[in-house]
Structure 1
Amino acid sequence: MAIPVVLDVDTGVDDACALLLAALHPALDLRAVTCVGGNAAVDPVVANTLTVLDAAGRADVPVARGAERPLLEAPVDARHVHGHDGMGDLDWARSERAPDPRHAVELLRDVLDEAAAHADDAHRVTLIPLAPLTNIALLLRTYPSAAKGIREIVFMGGAAHVGNATASAEFNVFHDPEAAAVVLDACAELDIPVTMYGLDVFYAPRVSLETARTLAAPGGHDAAELAGRLIEFQCQRFGSPDATIGDAGAVCAVLEPAGVRREQLPVRVELAGTWSRGRTIVDRRDWSGDLSHDPHGQAPASIDVCLEVDAQRYATLWLDTVSGGMR
């Protein structure tokens, strides 16, 4: 049985790379995609997401509009990275499909409740958030019973060592740190396994500009051309001979979990620091010793943190899939 998955996205060049992989790989059953403001405002995110799924031939997948803004902060975007439209300034006509009428949180609830109605664990859904965690925080606090339909959460966000939005914080967590903190706390309370696929591994799986141009060359506005255009855009924007598949690595980690080295570690989100707000505090100390002097204690959330990745393995997995090698 294919692994049931739902992606939560802010599409986004690298979200688009991940969507193509999830939509096309035969070992995944993409049940739905939910959208949140992040890399771009939520309405362009919805339009981009529908366009990607159409290119992949997956008009059957429901797409829902979610939170427009973070729980507390004013929204920011990353169009300086992803282009004015949020997806590489793609000069394609956008999809004519309408999104699902349900709010993203309602679609998530419905998909997860349906999964929970089955007695066997194989029907439970792997939730893959690749965006600020606003929708997921709202889901788990509004409909905590939906957790019964979740097998695990594998999210792209955070880092043990580095930041990108600031020197301390990764963009998805920085955009809505309260939501990230809520999700970690809720997962600890609801006993949901969590994997953090963060910046420590995010940039490593890469595709060359030459390969991207080969993918895009035949044209056809299909998945392969789109994949090539996404990589080519990043190479040109950053003046690099190659580019990361980014969020797609989190989908790879669901498909081939042995491709990452992970450690189960306590993790908190910094909410108050002047220079460190949005940082994921990954505690790598040995808690078997005496750390009673620490007034904070151990973080309630202990999650799998990805620390190393087999970059070539994941890049090849992505390329084989988006180029049609898997079909």
Structure 2
Amino acid sequence: MSVPIVLDCDTGIDDSLALLYLLGHPGVELAAVLSTAGNVPVDQVVANNLAWLELCGRGDVEVCRGAEAPLAIDLRTCEDTHGPQGIGYAERPLNSRTASERGAADAWIELTRERPGELIGLVIGPCTNLALAIRRDPDLPRRLKRLVIMGGCVNYPGNTTPVAEWNVLVDPEAAHEVLTAFGTNGAPRPILCGLNLTEQIVMTPQHLARLAEVAGSAPVEVAGVDDVRGIRSGASNSIVRRLTDALRFYFEFHQDHDGGYFAHVHDPFAAAVAIDPSIVHTRPAVLDVELTGTLTRGQVVADEDGFWGREPNALIAERTDVDAFFEDLVRTVGTLARDRGPGPAARA
């Protein structure tokens, strides 16, 4: 049975890996890819999504342009984390098409009306597009089968402020509106994949090398901390080559900021949960987002003890089998790359 997913993303490096994972997963029907500003501006996000789809031979998947800015504040981006185009050192392949004529909020509304109770929403960037859609159509949450959000950090340090995670902090109002719209009146409880779990999803150069082996790409490169910064992959497989160039940038960022040559790949894990929520252990809570705190704006606050007198509106992802996840990720993306073949050669 296929798993129909609507992906809403701000395509940086781990978003790119999540997109490839969804494209390669045999059980997934990617109903649409919705683009929002976040890691990079929205036009870059659209271009990245179109390019990855073209590279994977999936020009049939609709790409919709979404919000240029958050609901109530100016946009902040993080090219230092994901590179000037959002894909690290990777060369964005040329693509032959443009985004859909319908916007991302329209797509959320129309797709869920066409297929009520079937679609799984996966938001791995700011919640702006979904919040705008819910403002126009408050019944939308009840038409989703499931919603998975990568964002927040529950009783855990933030990665952008001491208490706030990037996706939520980019648009706290949107995260607040989405969380408060779900979990009641027949709408499903979203599964929140926050830093408290996703920072355990640590990808290493060895995972990437194994992926290249599955793809049949040569040479099998093992990125390392002593590599010259900005060195480009010579892999024969086009998907592996670009993924290696993207992840090398991400490894370097984490080396500079987290002290290890690895990468937290938050978004592919959220994608895995969207496909099969049984891979994660969750606990219910009332979740909301702090909007006015001088020091705590953007913090996801969890009430697990009934202080607010409200029924739980969300599920906090708290445990998973990390090794099993990476085995599936490596096999799925490696097989996608193998099946696509070498692809276009790198530019001289």
TM value normalised by structure 2: 0.84
Partner Cα distance (2:204, 2:82) in 1: 18
CA contact (8 A) 1:178 1:271 kept: yes
- Which of 262, 265, 272 is residue 245 of structure 1 equivalent to? 265
Query: Using a 3 Å threshold, how does the CA distance of structure 1 residues 141 and 189 change in structure 2: closer, same or farther?
Result: farther
Partner Cα distance (2:239, 2:309) in 1: 45
1:151 alignment partner in structure 2: 145
- 2:102 is paired with a residue whose SS is coil
Q: Render the CA deviation track for 1:23-73: whole Å, top value 9, x for unaligned.
A: 110111110010110000000010011112222221110000000000111
**Structure 2 residues not aligned, in runs of 5+:** 219-234, 340-348
Partner Cα distance (1:206, 1:231) in 2: 12
1:254 alignment partner in structure 2: 274
CA contact (8 A) 1:17 1:230 kept: no
2:346 alignment partner in structure 1: none
Partner Cα distance (1:177, 1:271) in 2: 6
2:120 alignment partner in structure 1: 126
1:100 alignment partner in structure 2: 100
CA deviation after TM superposition for structure 1 residue 318, in Å = 0.8
- 2:244 is paired with a residue whose SS is helix
Partner Cα distance (2:64, 2:253) in 1: 30
2:90 alignment partner in structure 1: 90
CA contact (8 A) 1:7 1:32 kept: yes
Q: Render the CA deviation track for 1:220-277: whole Å, top value 9, x for unaligned.
A: 5644444333332212333333323220100111233232221011111100101100
2:43 alignment partner in structure 1: 43
Partner Cα distance (1:13, 1:38) in 2: 12
Q: Sequence identity, in percent? A: 30
CA contact (8 A) 1:270 1:276 kept: yes
Opposite residue 79 of structure 1, the aligned amino acid is E
2:251 alignment partner in structure 1: 235
CA deviation after TM superposition for structure 1 residue 97, in Å = 1.7
Partner Cα distance (1:154, 1:225) in 2: 30
TM value normalised by structure 1: 0.89
Partner Cα distance (1:154, 1:92) in 2: 28
Query: Using a 3 Å threshold, how does the CA distance of structure 1 residues 236 and 187 change in structure 2: closer, same or farther?
Result: same
Partner Cα distance (2:157, 2:319) in 1: 14
- 2:145 is paired with a residue whose SS is strand
How many pairs were matched up? 312
Is 1:185 paired with 2:180?
yes
Opposite residue 204 of structure 1, the aligned amino acid is Q
Partner Cα distance (1:89, 1:231) in 2: 8
1:294 alignment partner in structure 2: none
Q: Render the CA deviation track for 1:65-99: whole Å, top value 9, x for unaligned.
A: 00000011110001110011111132233423201
Is 1:141 paired with 2:135?
yes
After TM superposition, the structure 1 = structure 2 runs for residues 198-237 of structure 1, keeping only pairs within 5 Å, are 198-213=194-209, 215=211, 217-218=217-218, 219=235, 222-237=238-253
Partner Cα distance (1:73, 1:131) in 2: 16
Q: CA RMSD in A?
A: 2.0
1:162 alignment partner in structure 2: 157
Opposite residue 244 of structure 1, the aligned amino acid is H
1:304 alignment partner in structure 2: 315
1:173 alignment partner in structure 2: 168
CA deviation after TM superposition for structure 1 residue 214, in Å = 5.6
CA deviation after TM superposition for structure 1 residue 106, in Å = 1.0
1:110 alignment partner in structure 2: 110
Partner Cα distance (2:276, 2:239) in 1: 21
CA deviation after TM superposition for structure 1 residue 108, in Å = 1.8
Query: Using a 3 Å threshold, how does the CA distance of structure 1 residues 90 and 73 change in structure 2: closer, same or farther?
Result: same
